[in-house]
Amino acid sequence: MARLGYSEEHQAFRHTVRSFLDREHEPQLARYEAQGGTDRDFWRKAGEAGILGLAVTGGGDFTFNAIMAEELGRTVGSATTGSSLMADIATYILSGHGTEAQKDKYIPGILTGEWTQAMPLTEPNAGSDATAITATALRDRDDYVINGEKYFISNGTGANLLYVVAKTDPAARGKGMSVIIVEEGTPGVTRHKIKTVGWGCGDTGALNFENVRVPVTNLVGTEGGAMKILMSTFLEDRIQIAARCLGAASTALALTLDYVRSRKVSGQRVIDFQNSQFALAECRADILICETMVDASLQKLRDGQFTFEDGAVLKLWSTQMEGRVLDKCVQLWGGAGLMDENPISRMWTAARIQRIYAGTDELQKVAIARGLMG
């Protein structure tokens, strides 16, 4: 079925991403598992394939990012390596708010995969409420001196270009937050990978900044302007997460259909039981609804009509949808669905993180309720 809102250029890009993942991601999964995740070579090859820096090469059309997210979700390996390539949406921070000097310095390397990005925002005691962060970046003549901890950071240990969110004016709460670039190798930065239940080889990192000194020219946007930058990024992030959920649920259903067509119980194929057919039908309906929501959201984003409430509804529904579909699929696999050798088990485990990270279900409900209350 043709999907609305996608041009021939979009479809060609989808083919490019699919070919790259089939070539450089899925066959390499055993190696990534052995070394604990993807490596810099993976990013360089992504650059060679032309799928990085889409905020620049895609002309600001976020549909290209959503396509990459959906195709990444469709790979069985993404349940192990995590969001990986989606860290590239941080390019929107630089392209939309960086100085010309910053763009000239970093964008060429972002396009080739030499620069990989992360946005250290979340802290051990500041998750859903971004304004509660305590990391500081205090001015000392021509430098900022950064101190504080960051936690649960996607691409946190592998990235060599960090957009650190810290308070340049701690007394001003949200209005005192700024985004400052810190490059890999800057003295005072230490980091380590956090082991998680899902995304066993994903790069979720903890970072510590101790008297990290960077020039004031590393400020992105204006002092106190972090919330404006973050709000625009959050809108786009909601769509890419939903697209990834859509891709994962679609692959889970396809894997399950293959399994129930061949697996027999008491001499009868599992798919021939009415209960199995009802569960599969519910999965299919959920996936089609999510597909429509993602495509409509992209259209609203292109038209400048995608709101924060829209993003909350989309993230809440799509992540819960993925959880429902994966749970039904695992149930149809029976005991085999819990075996690590079957990708469905890792996909089921990985789906759980979606309802927590990048804004919990509860936070989305708060945003929706505020809209209802006017």
Q: Is 129 exposed, middle or buried (0-12, 13-18, 19+ CB in 10 A)?
A: exposed
Task: State the pLDDT at residue 130.
Answer: 87
At the top level of CATH, which class does the domain 227-372 belong to? mainly alpha
Reading the block at residue 113, the tokens are: 């995969």
Report which secondary-structure segment, H or E, holds 24.
helix 8-24
Per-residue pLDDT of the chain (374 residues; tens, 9 = 90+): 578 899 999 999 999 999 999 999 999 999 999 999 999 999 999 999 999 999 999 998 999 999 999 999 999 999 999 999 999 999 999 999 999 999 999 999 999 999 999 999 999 998 778 899 999 999 999 999 999 999 999 999 999 999 999 999 999 989 999 999 999 999 999 999 999 999 999 999 999 999 999 999 999 999 999 999 998 888 999 999 999 999 999 999 999 999 999 999 999 999 999 999 999 999 999 999 999 999 999 999 999 999 999 999 999 999 999 999 999 999 999 999 999 999 999 999 999 999 999 999 999 999 999 999 98
Polymer length in residues for the chain: 374
Domain chopping of the chain, boundaries: 8-112, 117-224, 227-372
At the top level of CATH, which class does the domain 117-224 belong to? mainly beta
Q: How far apart are CA 348 and CA 316, in angstroms?
A: 17
Task: State the pLDDT at residue 1.
Answer: 59
Q: Which amino acid is at 98?
A: G
Q: Is 15 exposed, middle or buried (0-12, 13-18, 19+ CB in 10 A)?
A: exposed
| Most distant CA pair in the chain, distance | 79
Task: State the pLDDT at residue 4.
Answer: 87
Place of tokens 């529904």: 317
The pTM assigned to this predicted structure is 0.95
Q: CA of 10: how far to CAs of 6, 7, 113, in Å?
A: 6, 5, 22
CATH homologous superfamily of 8-112 equals Acyl-CoA dehydrogenase/oxidase, N-terminal domain (1.10.540.10)
Residue 214 sits at φ, ψ, to 5 deg, of -135, 155
Q: How far apart are CA 157 and CA 167, in angstroms?
A: 22
Q: CA of 184: how far to CAs of 43, 64, 175, 218, in Å?
A: 16, 28, 27, 13
Q: CA of 161: how far to CAs of 42, 68, 94, 312, 348, in Å?
A: 16, 21, 11, 28, 32
Reading the block at residue 128, the tokens are: 């859903």
Q: How far apart are CA 315 and CA 359, in angstroms?
A: 9
